[in-house]
Chain A
């Protein structure tokens, strides 16, 4: 049986690790390569680097971080943040990334998903979705009538794209995405638990793996997300980054809760 995955995320700016809480209040800490090595040692199933650098030199710096990590860490590496073109995919895959995640650019030009899937294979195309509850679905013709309605936000969560998040996830799969990384902006940074309703709404419409993100806090929150939803993986940043507990603590808690996990 496939293991449910635990994925630490490292937010990287100008080659350094930071962690945004609710996307503001950024604190600079640590070398991403050393952090990745440490997470690998703790039993991470995969590592995500999220590049939040705003300048043009960004790609080269991030590619170098990936390159140096791939020399030392032998688990899948995913890189996202500011991906605009299939050539951005190529550069990061060449540097040693196994998957690349695309967010805003896919909302503005969904063909990047199909182009990247065609050129590099669906297995390396992750579509990251930042979403927020905007009320209740009021259209009686919608299959989600009366349920919570979610909108996709772009530009690091600043802009409502006016797009239904569940519908967008379904479309992303149809275009060739290999995985969905779903961040709930309602739970992100709260450490109060993952957004089970939002996750399950997406899990019900796609067959590709869904990574839960936003709200990972207590050890129990990682057990609950797999009991209450069909998510395949859970991603978290600050709980691991500030050493509240290590990845293996989460795995042991999951195992105790009857969730299949990989224990090193």
Chain B
């Protein structure tokens, strides 16, 4: 069973629907007990970094996610959920993240380009991971974001270019993060969710 973590942010049901469509049993939950019982965790999210971390802390979910991830359980953060995996975020104010991957989250600096970075953009494979097994450089996925991760190249699996290098899929051991929305990226997105489900 995959636990889709509900902390009052974002469109969780798209993730739930995509997993169901792929045939993976999953539960949308805010219960740390369900997180412990699950085989895998997905942390979705739309919104702002400080507010999301507050909500996770208030629900006692930050510690539950950290301890499950550190015990080796596969975790996938999506969009804001991916950004929360890093050590710090700089949206509005400096906020401590879940610190599961080294790096921080800061504004996309692209004065000549539209912000948010929204739409279907191409990804290239930087370091292959189990989630990129069925992905080819040049495939397009759906992004909606104004902030991006800054992390070591060794943590980056897929990247896109938007005035600068933007990490699209990152990982460290069992912890994965997608800046784009795999649940809204058509067939390519479903391949990535399927690969996560089969880990």
Contact = CB atoms under 8 A, between A and B. Distances in A.
Given A121-B46, A208-B114, A262-B140, A3 B121 contact: yes
Interface in B182-199: 183-187, 189-190
Report which residue of A74, A96, A122, A233 has the largest number of chain B beta carbons within 10 angstroms of its beta carbon: A74
A74 B185 contact: yes
Given A3-B120, A75-B142, A207 B114 contact: yes
A264 B187 contact: yes
Interface string B160-199: 0110000000000000000000011111011000000000
B184 A98 contact: yes
A93 interface: yes
A72 interface: yes
Nearest to B138: A263
A157 to B, nearest CB: 27
A70 interface: yes
Interface in A46-72: 70-72
Contact of B121 (A1, A76, A264): A1
Interface residues of A, number: 28
A123 interface: yes
Interface in A184-220: 207-209
Contacts, number: 73
Interface string B3-45: 0000000010110011011000000000000000000000000
Contacts of B17: 70-71, 74, 96
A45 interface: yes
A24 interface: no
A27 B109 CA distance: 48
B119 interface: yes
B183 A74 contact: yes
B112 to A, nearest CB: 10
B109 to A, nearest CB: 15
A262 B47 CA distance: 27
A142 to B, nearest CB: 26
Contacts of B142: 75-76
Contacts of B183: 74
Contacts of A233: 119
Given A3-B140, A5-B119, A72 B21 contact: yes
A48 to B, nearest CB: 15
21 contacts: A1-B121, A2-B117, A2-B119, A2-B120, A2-B121, A3-B120, A3-B121, A40-B186, A72-B21, A74-B190, A75-B185, A75-B186, A93-B11, A96-B17, A98-B11, A123-B46, A207-B115, A208-B114, A233-B119, A262-B140, A264-B186
- Closest CB pairs A-B (n = 9): A262-B140, A3-B120, A262-B120, A2-B119, A123-B144, A71-B17, A2-B121, A75-B186, A207-B114
Interface of A: 1-3, 5, 40, 45, 70-72, 74-76, 93-94, 96, 98, 121-123, 178-179, 207-209, 232-233, 262, 264
